[in-house]
Amino acid sequence: MRDPAWPEVIRTSLRFAAVSAAISLVVWSAILAKVAPTARPLADISLVTTQVDSTGGSEVLPDEPPITFEEPANDPEPAIVADPRSFDPAVRWFNGRPVKPAKHIWMTVTAYSPDARSCGTSDDGLTATLHAVETNGFRLVAADPTVLPYGAMVTVEGYDRGQIVPVLDCGGAIKGNRLDVLFPTHEEARAWGVRKIRVTVWKYDDGKPAENPRKVR
């Protein structure tokens, strides 16, 4: 017959074994904590680049410095100095040079065309200064060289919208205070007729001599 106190003995023995194991675990943990060396910090990890050479080997390259972008320097632009003559209402420009009125002359102004009906046998397409009649877009004049020398600059009211035009031609009937303005066609020249006009003569205002009209073509 089994002793009824036996199960209680077993339970007591198991509880004692469990308590003893727990105490032993705590004691050994404390001992290990004292004698175990301090863990070393993880080593710094640097990113390296491996380059394979032509022989099949590899070479470890150091880190390249980061790419930086610099803003371009904003150098001040050089100041543009305007020609003070640009603000003078009396100054105009011809051939890239400033000009001013020199004098006014009352003249009888007729017109001609670069063909035989106006020029007769001299309709070779060239003026007396050997310029083509197309010079300045057929906008030039013939004058008496003793009154207005070749290369002189004039404005004639009603001709070429009042733009400055050069004296590059002459004519057998153009003597004294007479002026002949050129038109591309004979019809336009006839439509002009004969007019009495105050002509403005211009001169260069830059202190430089006038150009030789026979060299400027």
Q: Say which range, 56-60, 76-80, 120-124, 145-149, has the weakest mean pLDDT.
A: 56-60
- Helical H segments across the chain, by residue range: 6-35, 116-119, 186-192
pLDDT at 9: 65
Reply yes or no on whether the pLDDT at 52 is more than 60: no
Percent of the chain topping pLDDT 70: 65
87-102 tens-digit pLDDT = 677 899 998 999 999 9
Task: Give mean pLDDT, residues 129-153.
Answer: 96
Task: Give mean pLDDT, residues 2-30.
Answer: 67
> Which amino acid is residue 45, in one-letter code?
I
CA distance 130 to 216: 10
pLDDT at 108: 98
Is CATH 1.10.357.10 correct for 91-204?
Answer: no
pLDDT at 212: 85
Q: Classify each residue of 131-146 as buried b or exposed e, where b means 16 or more C-beta atoms within 10 Å of its C-beta.
A: bebebbebbbbbbbbe
Task: Specify the pTM.
Answer: 0.60
User: How do 141-143 and 165-169 pair as beta strands?
Assistant: parallel
